């Protein structure tokens, strides 16, 4: 399924992915054919949580942009709702690339991937698997589940794992998912319990009707997800925007994986995980990302 948007404007689009579809926004710059950036978000997040701010800047710089929401979330299809499945989300990235390559007015040899947080890990894997992307931008990237797990209070980790097991059993019995909050205060039973998790998520969802819970089964899977390893196989030029005081996605792990990458640039910011989406940190990051994309997409 393809759709056309007026030059310089945003249109709503949908594309098939597996057994459902993903909803997205397509931005087209004034001049075509244009390179295109595919944008996807992080843990349980939807595109309304500031992906438009990035896509608008990329479009103003002369790039088309496709910002999408994973299946099971927001206005995308998929049942059950709020299912955070790593494999299915990676399939959504592959579907987004197929859709982007079928669009008119797009330079199919100049397509980049942009992901944040959990999606910042996904783009490393998706780019390594695809082999045809021209560049990758990974912001506040989740690169190593084991490193993130070590930073969690063991009592919280045990309670999260117990709820995840209960959700797995519910799934096997054909019952609805047992959910868990994305963020909670320190010591609570939630996926993110760092001091800045609740205010950070609140800032990203302000004014939005967003479900703040996901199926708990991800609690026993995220710790074994190590997308940073894909950097050793990823051939596309890659930019890692690392938040040095990241309480969610280990900055040290990201830097360690980056050192093993093939063609990796790193930009470091003295901020926390959620600060990069707003204000001066956002302006610095988007400037760095736009400059990187210009170098690698505007040939």
Whole-number Å distance between alpha carbons of 14 and 47: 13
pTM of the entire predicted model: 0.95
In a domain, 166, yes or no: no
Strand partners, 11: 26
Q: Count of domains in the chain?
A: 1
In a domain, 44, yes or no: yes
In a domain, 53, yes or no: yes
Q: Give the list of residues 6+ apart from residue 278 with CB closer than 8 angstroms, or none.
A: 50, 203
Segment holding 110, helix H or strand E: strand 106-116
Query: Checking DSSP bridges between strand 213-215 and strand 179-181, what pairing results, if any?
Result: antiparallel
Residue 8: predicted pLDDT? 67
In a domain, 234, yes or no: yes
In a domain, 258, yes or no: yes
Could you read off the pLDDT of 274-285 as tens digits, one per residue?
Answer: 999 999 999 999
Residue 181: predicted pLDDT? 98
CATH number reported for the structural domain that contains residue 66 in this entry: 3.40.50.1820
Query: Checking DSSP bridges between strand 238-243 and strand 264-269, what pairing results, if any?
Result: parallel
In a domain, 194, yes or no: no
In a domain, 215, yes or no: no
In a domain, 156, yes or no: no
Residue 133 is classified by DSSP as -
CB-based burial, 245-262: b 16+ in 10 Å, e otherwise = ebbbbbbebbbebbeebe
Residue 149: predicted pLDDT? 87
Whole-number Å distance between alpha carbons of 214 and 122: 18
Residue 1: predicted pLDDT? 41
User: Which residues does the chain have with pLDDT short of 50?
Assistant: 1-5
Residue-number span of the structural domain to which 244 is assigned: 10-149+226-297
Compute CA distances 74 → 47, 69, 271, 298, whole Å. Answer: 8, 7, 28, 33
Whole-number Å distance between alpha carbons of 17 and 21: 5
Could you read off the pLDDT of 21-46 as tens digits, one per residue?
Answer: 999 999 999 999 999 999 999 999 99
């Amino acid at each position: 399924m393809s759709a056309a948007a007026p030059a310089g404007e945003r249109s709503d689009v949908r594309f098939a992915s597996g057994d459902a579809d993903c909803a997205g926004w397509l931005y087209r710059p004034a001049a075509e054919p244009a390179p295109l950036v595919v944008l996807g978000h992080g843990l349980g997040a939807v595109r309304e949580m500031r992906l438009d701010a990035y896509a608008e800047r990329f479009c103003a710089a002369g790039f088309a942009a496709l910002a999408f929401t994973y299946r099971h979330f927001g206005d995308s299809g998929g049942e059950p709702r709020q299912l955070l499945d790593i494999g299915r989300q990676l399939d959504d990235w592959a579907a987004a690339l197929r859709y982007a390559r079928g669009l008119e007015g797009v330079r199919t040899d100049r397509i980049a991937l942009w992901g944040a947080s959990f999606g910042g890990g996904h783009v490393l894997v998706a780019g390594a698997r695809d082999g045809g992307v021209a560049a990758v931008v990974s912001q506040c990237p989740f690169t190593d589940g084991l490193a993130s797990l070590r930073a969690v209070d063991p009592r919280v980790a045990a309670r999260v794992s117990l709820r995840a097991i209960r959700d797995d059993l519910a799934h096997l019995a054909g019952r609805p998912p047992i959910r868990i909050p994305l963020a909670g205060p320190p010591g609570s039973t939630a996926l993110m319990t760092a001091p800045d998790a609740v205010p950070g998520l609140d800032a990203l969802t302000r004014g939005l009707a967003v479900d703040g819970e996901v199926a708990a089964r991800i609690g026993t899977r995220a710790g074994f997800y190590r997308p940073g390893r894909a950097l050793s196989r990823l051939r596309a030029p890659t930019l890692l925007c690392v938040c040095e005081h990241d309480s969610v996605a280990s900055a040290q792990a990201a830097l360690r994986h980056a050192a093993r990458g093939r063609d990796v640039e790193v930009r470091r910011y003295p901020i926390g995980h959620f600060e990069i989406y707003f204000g001066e940190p956002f302006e610095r990051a988007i400037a760095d990302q736009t400059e990187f994309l210009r170098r690698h997409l505007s040939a």
